[in-house]
Amino acid sequence: MPVFLNMSVSFTFLRPFARFLVPFTLHRKRKDVCSTVLQKYMSSKVPAVSYPNKERTLPPEQLELDGWKITMKSSVQEEGISAVSNSKDEDPLAATRELIEMWRLLGREVPEHISEEDLKTVMESPSKSSKRKYLKYLYVKEKMKKAKQIKKEMKAAAKEEAKKDKLLETTEDDKQQNFLFLRLWDRNIDIAMGWKGAQAMQFGQPLVFDMAYENYMKPKELQNAVSQLLESEGCNRRNVDPFHIYFCNLKTDGDYYRELVKRYGEKWDKLLLTATEKSHVDLFRKENIIYLTADSPNVMTTFKHDKIYIIGSFVDRNMQPGTSLANAKRLKLATECLPLDKYLQWETGTKNLTLDQMMRILLCLKNTGSWEEALKFVPRRKHTGLLEVSQYSREFVNQLKKSKTFNTFPKGSLNIRTKKRWLK
């Protein structure tokens, strides 16, 4: 104990001079000295007898509780004290950067590395919560990137292993093998899809994406919308009988256009779809157009092959109900919504589906005409199963759903069809 005190005293005495007298390398050493002292001290403590029923006789004063403060105080910052004084007149950017660093130390969800651009975005966010949200987004992004990197490395390692194993196996190289095709499948598939796309451009049923919602969306939502468009276009391309896609109201100086060109790159000009600044009412006759919107009072009963369906390419996360319905009303177009309530036992979530889900549903309807098949593309988390429209009234099913008796059934048997089977 006295030793320890002596040590600390000598330190506090030395501290003002330390920076001048002791070369920098010694700092670490001193830290080590400290810690060894601490450890020595801690280990020299008589271990308490760990009988649970026996009271420990050591009063708390005997436990050295404040030792850590000395080491904490005596450890000098990397830049030294001078940094504190000049932190008063630093620019807000650096301050924000430090704030993020401190939040990281606190275990908050903030990214480890942040670019200047992102830092500016964080700095300009008006409120604390918006700062946090953006930082969390960056943090998640960073995490995903890291995870991907690790996966990549693992895959590469596995490949190496496989290669080695292959080399060990003695293969008969001189044995001639007979093949019918060269391995050029991907390219062939692409070309085939291209032909089909060209055919759709000539004879396919039009499907319009209305791009008039640029101004209703925040940048984040717009990016999501573009991702969904890419996804939809991909599904359409792979389908047996693709639609002829139109991007209407696509302004060439708008954000949508810029983002699409950025994402598609060189492919943009070779896409087999029609992108136009014109409105859908200029291209088609009004009476053939059906605007699909979840707010519509009219329920779609069948898929009509002679109509032109319009999907508003609009990701709406900040609650602007009725925007697309208003657009359709303005142009006096017919509107329809999917018969989700009629066929599905809806649970949670909005009835606005993503663009790619809409695309898949429409393709499925076009090819099979069966609602049950098509509505499989509605996310399963949003509903508890298909309704047997013909046999049970909706009310009855609702009652069944609410009833507690169902808890005795195995999971998933909320689906009425399985329920019926079980009863027979």
Partner 1 sequence: MTFCLFGFRSFSKLWKNNSYLWLGPGNSLSLFLVDCYGIRNKQRWFSLTTVSPQNTKAMNLLIAKTRYHRKGDEGSNKQVSSDSPHLFAAGAAKKRAQMNPQSKDPVSPPLRNTVQLPTKPLNSEEWDKLKEDFKGKANFENWISSQITHCRSSVDVAKSLLAWVAAKNNGIVSYDLLVKYLYLCVFHKQTAEIFDVYEIMKARYKSLEPGAYTLLIRGLIHSDRWREALLLLEDIKKVMIPSKKNYDDCIQGALLHQDVDTAWNLYQELLGHDLIPMLETLKAFFDFGKDTKDDQYANKLLDVLLYLRNNQLYPGESFAHSIKAWFESVPGEQWKGQFTTIQKSGQCLGCGKTIESIYLSPEEYEFLKENIMRNVIDGGDQYKKTTPEELKRFQNLVNNHPPFDIVIDGLNVAKMFPKARESQVLLDVVSQLSKQNLRLLVLGRKHMLKQYSRWRKDEMEKVQKQASCFFADDISKDDPFLLYATLHSGNHCKFITKDLMRDHKACLPDAKTQRLFFKWQQGHQLAIISRFPGSKISFQHILSYDTVVQTTGDSWHIPFDEDLVERYSYEVPNKWLCLRRKT
Footprint of partner 1 (CB under 8 A) = 31-32, 34-35, 38-39, 42, 45, 47-48, 50, 56, 58, 60, 63-73, 75-77, 79, 83-84, 87, 92, 95-96, 98-99, 102-103, 105-107, 127-128, 131, 295, 297, 322-323, 325-327, 329-330, 391-392, 396, 399-400, 402-405, 423
Is 24 in a helix, a strand, or coil?
Answer: helix
When the beta carbons of 6 and 320 are compared against partner 1, the nearer one is: 320
To partner 1, the closest distance from the beta carbon of 274 in angstroms equals 27
Q: How many helices (H) and strands (E) does the chain have?
A: 17, 8
The nearer residue to partner 1, 330 or 381, going by C-beta atoms, is: 330
Place of tokens 């009303």: 329
Q: Tell the burial category of 285 from Cβ atoms under 10 Å away from its Cβ (0-12, 13-18, 19+).
A: exposed
The amino acid sitting at 185 is W
**With respect to partner 1, which residue has the nearer C-beta, 122 or 375?**
122
Instruction: Supply the minimum distance, in Å, between the C-beta of residue 11 and partner 1.
Output: 11
Q: What's the CA gap between 314 and 224, in Å, rounded?
A: 9
The least CB distance from residue 346 to partner 1, in Å, is: 19
* CB closer to partner 1 out of 284 and 392: 392
Q: How far is the first Cα of the chain from the last one, in angstroms, to the nearest whole number?
A: 83
DSSP string, 95-119: HHHHHHHHHHHTT-S--SS--HHHH
Q: Which helix (H) or strand (E) holds 49?
A: none
Q: How far apart are CA 319 and CA 328, in angstroms?
A: 18
* Minimum CB–partner distance for residue 108 and partner 1 (Å): 8
**Closest to partner 1 by CB, 272 or 310:** 310
Nearer to partner 1, 368 or 393 (CB): 393
Nearer to partner 1, 102 or 189 (CB): 102
Integer angstrom CA distances of residue 384 from 179, 380, 411:
49, 7, 11
Order of strands, edge to edge, in the sheet holding 244-248?
274-275, 244-248, 206-210, 308-312, 289-292, 334-336
Residue 200 near residue 239, CB atoms below 8 Å: no
What CA–CA distances, in Å, run from 346 to 357, 386, 387, 407, 414? 16, 9, 10, 18, 12
Inter-residue contact 385 to 419 (CB < 8 Å): no
Minimum distance from residue 413 beta carbon to partner 1 (Å): 14
- Minimum separation from the CB atom of position 41 to partner 1 (A): 8
Question: In the complex with partner 1, which residue's Cβ is closer, 252 or 391?
Answer: 391
Give the shortest CB-40-to-partner 1 separation in angstroms.
10
What's the min distance (Å) between Cβ of 291 and partner 1?
12
Alpha-carbon span 374 to 123, nearest angstrom:
46
Q: What is the spatial distance between Cα 353 and Cα 378, in angstroms, rounded to a whole number?
A: 7
Measured CA to CA in angstroms, residue 165 lies from 44, 161, 172 at distances of 55, 6, 15
Enter the tokens of residue 21.
């007298």
Q: Kindly tell me which of 2 and 107 has the beta carbon lying closer to partner 1.
A: 107
Q: How far is the CB of 37 from partner 1 (least distance, A)?
A: 9
**Which of 205, 335 has the CB closer to partner 1?**
335
The position carrying tokens 């896409």 is: 271
Write down the least CB distance from residue 398 to partner 1, Å.
Answer: 9
**Closest separation between CB of residue 39 and partner 1, Å?**
6
| Nearest residue (CB) to partner 1, 98 versus 160 | 98
Query: For the purposes of burial, counting CB atoms within 10 Å of the CB of 142, is it exposed (0-12), middle (13-18) or buried (19 or more)?
Result: middle
